[in-house]
Structure 1
Amino acid sequence: MEKDIAQKLLGLFFKAPLVHALLVFEDNEFFGVVFKRDIELGMREGNFELYENINTIRVDELSSMLFANQATSTTVIPVIDKVGNLVKIMTYEEYESHFHFDRYIANFSVSPVLDNLDHPVVVTNHFKRILYMNNLAMETAGKDYLGWNVNSLLKQFDIEIAGEKMIVTKDDKVFHLHIHYSLAENFSYHVYQFLPVN
């Protein structure tokens, strides 16, 4: 029995009292959920094993099974990996951006200044789902990757690490890739700047 893990996981529900389950992610992708009742039952019976208690749920059923009441902007959801480590406490806004992307992206806006920057810019949520690409990013990529994992976009480039710099190349275009982390009030972002190498 993984008693220490079970106790640690139950403690996460004190931070997120409006949820019935913890989200499980693997490599920035949704893997499943672990229900609070299953953790409690496993502890009572003395046989809790985390991996055996990860349930796969269709995304369209997730909200109805995850939240105890109507979720609000202050609702938070713990995210763990498959071995029980806390990845992050996800805000409801982040949850919406990942699991209800079409609904979220309809209200997402970035300053029009970014659209016409002289270099490609891509903005992702914490789990690397692309929320925004400026005009040059779409032109360089050759298509719109909104809603995709940023790794799908980066696979188009030859990537080379040179000291502390990441150099990415596509066709005859060479860029220094700078990845920045940004934390807003209820949201964490990654900003990918492709700065041209002259």
Structure 2
Amino acid sequence: MTLGKAELLQAIAGKNRGLLASEADNLAILAAVARLEEFNPTPRPLEAAEKLDGNWRLLYTTSTELLGIGRFPVLTLGQIYQCIRVKTQQVFNIAEVTSLPLLEGLVSVAARFEPVSDRRVDVGFERGIFGLQRLIGYRNPSQFIQDIQSGKRFAAADFRIDPGNRKGWLDITYLDDDLRIGRGNEGSVFVLTRV
């Protein structure tokens, strides 16, 4: 592990994906992110399908939209995954949410991406699924994605997203075998580890 990578992982440790990060913590983390991005071992990440493809777990983000899920009084934000399927140009964002016993929830968005440069993809959100894990039959991200790709409809709020309403882009600014950093169109930073 490189020094810069170890420094970043140390800075985000114990920050609960950013929920527990102070302003000073965020500044230190973003500085460590910027230093690591300078030494990106995969300058053309969209040409490295074998590294990019797979299930990724969120370690840290500045996304107020994602972190907002964990700020509801009775909800606890569980694991957050971003699962990339390069072959079909799909991305699945999955947030596990816990509440009262037997009321574990799931917030998921499915999207398509289109490469527009060596490291940027345009993202068009297509489908949202919000519901109880038990009713959805959720066991893990891979099984859930297979169900989505097979066309399954879920006993949940399962709806199409108007393509004109939710578009964005993401730059992949660092990619190695087990760590990925991205910067989104709303200024958010994402640090993820391969599952």
Q: Shorter-normalised TM-score: what interval?
A: under 0.3
Higher helix proportion: 1
When Rg is computed on C-alpha atoms for both structures, the one with the higher figure is 1
Higher strand proportion: 2
TM-score, with structure 2 as normaliser: 0.24
Which fold has the larger relative contact order, with Cα–Cα distance below 8 Å and residues 6 or more apart in sequence? 2
TM-score, with structure 1 as normaliser: 0.24
